[in-house]
Amino acid sequence: MSQKFPSDGWTQSFGRVINASADYKQRGKNWRAGAVSFIVTAAPEIGMTQDFGMFLDLHEGECRSARSCTLAEAEKAPFMIRAEYGWWKSVIRGSLEPVRGLITGKLKLKGDLTVIVRHIGAAKSLAECAAQVDTIFQDEA
């Protein structure tokens, strides 16, 4: 079923795609650095009046839970990535490679970059999983 991005339903679908991915199971198997949260910053021009948070509890190639979250919850994850709606769309569509997005300032990371780089394969696999979610973008709905 198609899910609107961003939404709780989309986040849960993302979690299911991750857990169905043999590629992520393999490339993410050494990830023990904790949960990752994503923030889509508010974009009133497309009707998003507040920041939207997503929380992924990732561990050893598995997504133990995936749900929307408050900003306070997102802050508690060891890694929090924040970006504007348009850049998330580019990541999901595969036109913005996540680490390149970080380096060029389109994505902002709270946490230790070197850990992300050490698990670059897992990060790329997550982006590929996001691309597989049947997505309706909020501004195209």
Residues that bind other proteins (CB under 8 A): 82, 99-100, 102-105, 107-114, 117-118, 120-121
Residues 81/93/124/35 CA torsion (nearest 10 deg): 30
Can you read off the two tokens belonging to residue 50?
Answer: 């507040």
Output the smallest distance, CB 90 to other proteins, in A: 12
**In this structure, how many other beta carbons lie within 10 angstroms of the beta carbon of residue 111?**
16
Q: Which is nearer to other proteins, 8 or 97 (CB)?
A: 97
Output the smallest distance, CB 123 to other proteins, in A: 11
Closest CA to 12 of 74, 54, 51, 58: 54
Q: Which is nearer to other proteins, 46 or 99 (CB)?
A: 99
Question: In this structure, are strands 36-41 and 52-59 parallel, antiparallel, or unpaired?
Answer: antiparallel
Q: Which is nearer to other proteins, 9 or 86 (CB)?
A: 86
Q: Which is nearer to other proteins, 59 or 108 (CB)?
A: 108
Output the smallest distance, CB 45 to other proteins, in A: 22
The values of phi and psi at residue 31, to 5°, are -75, 110
Can you read off the two tokens belonging to residue 7?
Answer: 């939404």
Output the smallest distance, CB 77 to other proteins, in A: 12
